[in-house]
């Protein structure tokens, strides 16, 4: 752990971890204002995610201690602090690390401008889509107080999806995810569309079974 001297004379401790994934944990909370599309940058999303991690650490500890004060044993107190605090903390921490590593790859490599633009938009789309799930925590903490960031993030998700749509096949081919991830009958790597359509139809539960309401339907028939 290293101490860093701030401009105001205070000191903060920088945590050292094997993957350097918690270097921001002891940094002071700073708010990022989201008012225009220009504010939706990857560094701003990383700053918001950093705040969320710190907030959820405090929330997890506070929830656990509150459970103990309310008479729960340690096991139950731990379990009940998981649902809306510790579990969410783990997800936020992981997503922040993914965004950070992807962004470092984009900015540290020599990438052609067209490819870099697409990769940046993908990173922004993932950041917007992921952060949108945690908006309640940002309002609960007082980080956001107005409704403007919600509409801005949601509109940006739709815009980025439209903008990336013409390149989606190329993106899939470059990423080359396994068929189990894409989960698309029409987009299977073998190209055997009709074979996989038939397999999907035949393999769906209940396709060749008689409906349980068949008798009632016959009884109500006027034929």
Distance, first Cα to last Cα, the chain? 82
Structural domains of the chain in order of their starting residue, each with its CATH number: 31-205 (1.20.140.10)
pLDDT of residue 157: 96
* C-alpha to C-alpha distance for 90 and 106, rounded to whole angstroms: 25
Whole-prediction pTM value?
0.74
Q: What percent of the chain has pLDDT over 90?
A: 51
Is 90 exceeded by the pLDDT of residue 192?
no
Identify the weakest region by mean pLDDT among 126-130, 135-139, 171-175: 171-175
Higher per-residue confidence, 6 vs 14:
14
HSE, side-chain direction, 13 A CA sphere, residue 98? 13
Q: What is the mean pLDDT of residues 81-108?
A: 93
Is 80 exceeded by the pLDDT of residue 122?
yes
* C-alpha to C-alpha distance for 133 and 94, rounded to whole angstroms: 14
Q: Mean pLDDT across the chain, nearest whole number?
A: 85
pLDDT of residue 166: 87
- What are 20-41's pLDDT values in tens digits? 778 888 888 889 999 999 999 9
Q: What percent of the chain has pLDDT over 70?
A: 89
């Amino acid at each position: 752990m290293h101490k860093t001297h701030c401009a105001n004379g205070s000191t903060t401790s920088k945590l050292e971890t094997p993957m350097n994934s918690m270097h921001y944990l002891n940094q002071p909370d700073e708010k990022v204002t989201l008012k225009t599309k220009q504010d939706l940058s990857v560094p701003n999303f990383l700053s918001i995610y950093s705040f969320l991690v710190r907030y959820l650490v405090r929330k997890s500890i506070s929830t656990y201690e509150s459970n103990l004060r309310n008479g729960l044993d340690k096991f139950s107190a731990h379990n009940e602090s998981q649902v809306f605090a510790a579990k969410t903390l783990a997800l936020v921490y992981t997503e922040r690390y993914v965004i950070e590593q992807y962004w470092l790859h984009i900015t540290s490599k020599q990438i052609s401008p067209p490819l870099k633009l697409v990769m940046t938009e993908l990173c922004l789309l993932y950041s917007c889509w992921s952060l949108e799930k945690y908006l309640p925590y940002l309002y609960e903490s007082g980080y956001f107080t107005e409704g403007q960031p919600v509409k801005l993030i949601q509109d940006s998700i739709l815009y980025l999806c439209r903008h990336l749509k013409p390149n989606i096949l190329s993106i899939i081919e470059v990423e080359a995810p396994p068929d189990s991830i894409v989960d698309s009958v029409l987009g299977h790597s073998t190209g055997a569309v009709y074979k996989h359509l038939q397999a999907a139809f035949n393999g769906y539960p209940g396709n060749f079974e008689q409906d349980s309401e068949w008798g009632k339907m016959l009884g109500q028939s006027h034929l």
